[in-house]
Amino acid sequence: MIHDIERLLFHEAHLLDSGRYREWLELLALNLRYWAPVRANVSRAQEKQDETQRLPLFDENKASLILRVDRLDTELAWTEIPPTRTRRFISNITADTEQDGLVLVRSNFMVFRSRSFREEWLVVGCREDKWSTGGKWLLRERKILVDHCTVENLSLFL
Amino acid sequence: MDKRLVDIHDRTVSGRVFTDPDIFAREQATVFSQSWLYLGHRSQFKEKGDFIQAYAGTMPVLLCLDGEGGFNVFANVCSHRAARVCQQEYGNARKFVCPYHNWVFDNKGDLIGVPRRHSPEFDKSKWGLCKAAQVSVYRDLIFCTFSPAAAPLEDYLGDMKWYLDMLLDCNGGTEVSKGTHRSTVHCNWKIPAEQFGSDNWHFQAVHCSMGKLGRRNEDPNSEDSFHVWTDQGHILICIAPKQEVDTTYTLYLDKLAAEQRISEAQRKLLRCTLVITIFPNLSFVYFPGLCSIRVWNPRSPDQTELWSWALYHKDAPEQIKDLVRKQVTRLFSPTGMLEQDDLEVWSRLADNLKGMPPDFRLCYEFDADPEIKNRPFPGHTASLQSDIAALAFYKRWAEIIAHADGTP
């Protein structure tokens, strides 16, 4: 199974780095929850305890992600004109089967971003996914933990 | 030379205002030391001893609720060797122990302990942390100033109180979301501070992708759309809705009427989009269903750190709070569909300006519709299609900078 999961995440990374967002949307389940808690500069225990209460960086469902892609497709979303060059590295992948056919997938990511002529930065973090399988892999839940307390313009999907 | 930093008559602003390190240092010593600065919200304090970290201009500070229920503001910088006294962004503490040499300070900023034996002449009372001269609260918003001579906060807010009350006045008050959005903005702090209270024009240009998706309900040409500026340099944009539509939030507002002490005129404006800057660096953006409160922390002439929170009525139903939090996250956060475009435009501004000759000046000439002044609202009102509010912000800024130097 781990090879299937690896192939899936690498395919997803390829779609996102290539700007093929409509195809990426097809990997998302209708009842998707996609969120990224904001980090806090406090003890590990305190940070974990407050995590769900803090204002997140992403709090999305499939409809709101479609809206984000629709916006990019207007060709008027200046933050991505011309598009930011991204290259993502997905690693440390683990997979465990949960109940109801959901597979819990953990992975680390490092995304290199290059904008305009010389603006370059990294976005680094990890993800906890729940993928449903039943012929086709569909993303049901993704929690993204970025390792930055102060971030740059996050005009990307993680 | 300095008189020309901001020229009210030919309506231009020098590019140096946004790039010059000497001007940046001077505005820290003048604008940020004399003004009232927003640091935090009362809802961030539940118990005695609660504290948060904040910035007063470039100075890292702690805002603490002491044992008597008073708010204290002091530099989070040890008086001994300038180490950061407290590292956690929020928490609860009766005292702070500096990690460098273990000097101990109470939550009023006084030095209460030095671990090593010291001479009898050593006077602890001389070595407390650098304290704000005044701390004051307006409708749950906590401000400080480092000027003992500063006028009271309510006088400072002046005519802008009437507009802030629309957002803040409610039985039970307001609260901010837990957790802070922090992002780096690659330009001088004044660029976004100015834009938030004065730049209606950029809405149609830089955010046009949302307009094309039918996600904007604003009519800048309406009679009810206008700018406000005050002599203290506070500025505001009000844009009336294109269509009066009932939403979950406007229905909530209707129900809320009995809980608020605001007038019918104020209530009507709560249907509008409001974008406000309280001089120098506190801003709000509001429309029915979204409210963000934010501080543009200056870091260097060409870098700013934006800290922002969602703001809502404390007693609002969870469904309303959730709506505001989601809208803030999706539109006005580092991933927000409106904020992203602003961050993009601002990101190369510092670099652009540094590439220009020292006599390069920016245009603040627009006043397309001069007759729609003098609306029946507090403050000076101006046409939305104008640079008048932006210029008022720089006029106040230049007055403070010039005055401190003794130049006219």
Q: Which amino acid is at B261?
A: R
Q: Which residues of B touch A150 (CB under 8 A)?
A: 182-184, 305
User: Do B353 and B396 fall within a single domain?
Assistant: yes
The full set of domain ranges for chain A reads: 2-146
Q: Closest Cα of chain A to B333: distance in Å? A: 7
How does pLDDT run across B269-281, given as a tens digit for each residue? 999 999 999 999 9
Last residue of a domain, one of B145, B175, B195: B145
Q: Which amino acid is at B161?
A: K
Instruction: Decide if B176 is inside a domain.
Output: yes
Last residue of a domain, one of B124, B145, B166: B145
Q: Which ipTM score applies to this complex? A: 0.95
Confidence of residue A15 (pLDDT cuts 50, 70, 90): very high
pTM of the model: 0.96
Which backbone phi and psi does B293 adopt, to 5 degrees?
-115, 135
Q: Does B179 touch chain A (CB under 8 A)?
A: yes
- pLDDT averaged over every residue in chain B: 93
Whether A106 contacts A126, CB under 8 Å: yes
Range A61-76 average pLDDT: 96
Share of chain B above pLDDT 90, in %: 81
Mutate to test the interface with B, among A61, A72, A79, A152 (most CBs of B within 10 A): A79
Instruction: Decide if B11 is inside a domain.
Output: no
Confidence of residue B407 (pLDDT cuts 50, 70, 90): very low
Q: Which residues of A touch B343 (CB under 8 A)?
A: 79, 152-153
Range B238-245 average pLDDT: 90
Q: Residue B1: what pLDDT?
A: 45
User: Do B211 and B292 fall within a single domain?
Assistant: yes
* Residue B149 CB burial class (10 angstroms; 0-12, 13-18, ≥19): exposed
Asked if the Cβ–Cβ distance from B347 to A78 is below 8 Å, we say: no
Confidence of residue A100 (pLDDT cuts 50, 70, 90): confident
How does pLDDT run across B367-402, given as a tens digit for each residue? 866 666 678 899 999 988 889 999 999 999 999 998
Whether B267 contacts B257, CB under 8 Å: yes
Cα–Cα distance, A95 to A104 (Å, whole number) = 6
* Residue B188 CB burial class (10 angstroms; 0-12, 13-18, ≥19): buried
Q: Residue B369: what pLDDT?
A: 66
Q: Which residues of A touch B89 (CB under 8 A)?
A: 40-42
| Residue B280 preceded by cis peptide, ω within 30 | yes
Q: Residue A108: what pLDDT?
A: 98
Closest CA to A51 of A38, A61, A64: A38
Closest CA to B237 of B284, B182, B192, B167: B284
Range B171-199 average pLDDT: 96
User: Do B361 and B289 fall within a single domain?
Assistant: yes
Which residues in A have their CB inside 8 Å of a CB on B?
A: 36-38, 40-43, 46, 50, 53-60, 64, 67-68, 70-71, 74, 76-79, 115-116, 119, 149-155
Confidence of residue B355 (pLDDT cuts 50, 70, 90): very high
User: DSSP assignment, residue B272?
Assistant: S
Q: Which amino acid is at A119?
A: E
Q: Closest Cα of chain A to B80: distance in Å? A: 24
Ranges A89-98, B50-59, B77-86, B209-218: which has the least confidence: B209-218
Instruction: Decide if B27 is inside a domain.
Output: no
Predicted confidence (pLDDT) at residue B53 exceeds the cutoff of 60: yes
User: Do B180 and B278 fall within a single domain?
Assistant: yes
Predicted confidence (pLDDT) at residue B406 exceeds the cutoff of 60: no
User: Do B319 and B208 fall within a single domain?
Assistant: yes
Instruction: Decide if B12 is inside a domain.
Output: no
Instruction: Decide if B264 is inside a domain.
Output: yes
Closest CA to B283 of B350, B383, B190: B190
Q: Residue A92: what pLDDT?
A: 98
Cα–Cα distance, B394 to B399 (Å, whole number) = 8
Range B248-255 average pLDDT: 94
CATH number at residue B172: 3.90.380.10
Domain count, chain B: 2
The two tokens of residue A123 are 């976005």
Give residue B117's domain range: 36-145
* Residue A78 CB burial class (10 angstroms; 0-12, 13-18, ≥19): middle
Closest CA to B190 of B99, B301, B310: B301
Indicate the helix (H) or strand (E) that contains B85.
none
User: Do B60 and B109 fall within a single domain?
Assistant: yes
User: Do B255 and B339 fall within a single domain?
Assistant: yes
Cα–Cα distance, B255 to B80 (Å, whole number) = 55
How does pLDDT run across A114-146, given as a tens digit for each residue? 999 999 999 999 999 999 988 899 999 999 999
Mutate to test the interface with A, among B329, B338, B339 (most CBs of A within 10 A): B329
Confidence of residue B352 (pLDDT cuts 50, 70, 90): very high
User: Do B176 and B317 fall within a single domain?
Assistant: yes
Q: Which CATH architecture has domain A2-146?
A: Roll (3.10)
User: Do B172 and B247 fall within a single domain?
Assistant: yes
User: Do B187 and B87 fall within a single domain?
Assistant: no
Share of chain B above pLDDT 70, in %: 96
Instruction: Decide if B15 is inside a domain.
Output: no
Instruction: Decide if B31 is inside a domain.
Output: no
Indicate the helix (H) or strand (E) that contains B95.
strand B95-97
- Non-local (6+) Cβ contacts of B145 within 8 A are B33, B34, B35, B36, B37, B132, B133, B134
Range B235-257 average pLDDT: 92
User: Do B246 and B381 fall within a single domain?
Assistant: yes
Last residue of a domain, one of B100, B124, B145: B145
Whether B116 contacts B100, CB under 8 Å: no
Predicted confidence (pLDDT) at residue B328 exceeds the cutoff of 70: yes
Range A68-77 average pLDDT: 95
Predicted confidence (pLDDT) at residue B200 exceeds the cutoff of 70: yes
Q: Residue B373: what pLDDT?
A: 65
Range B357-363 average pLDDT: 94
Q: Residue B29: what pLDDT?
A: 96
Instruction: Decide if B283 is inside a domain.
Output: yes
User: Do B130 and B217 fall within a single domain?
Assistant: no
Predicted confidence (pLDDT) at residue B22 exceeds the cutoff of 70: yes
- pLDDT averaged over every residue in chain A: 95
